[in-house]
Amino acid sequence: MTAIEQYMIDTYRASQHGTPVPPPPGRDDVATLRALRTAAQFDAAVAGAPTTHPWRHALNRFLHRPRAC
């Protein structure tokens, strides 16, 4: 059963019982990812490590390098 099918069943049951409708699947995905990133940055700061990802610095260097003519 897919998440959408389960959501539809849960929505139907909620309407039959008069309870609040559950949140749709995927609604809080971005907020969850942001919370995980914040927690990882906090753990890195407490450990004394850089709080940014090394690939981000490398990508920034690659994208903003001087162009050869």
Domain chopping of the chain, boundaries = 3-63
Alpha-carbon distance 66 to 44, whole Å?
A: 31
CB 12 within 8 A of CB 6: no
pTM over 0.85: no
pLDDT in the model for residue 69:
62
In which residue are the tokens 């959501």 written? 7
User: Which of helix, strand or coil describes residue 10?
Assistant: helix
In tens, the pLDDT along 10-69 reads 999 999 999 999 999 989 899 999 999 889 889 988 999 877 777 777 788 888 887 766
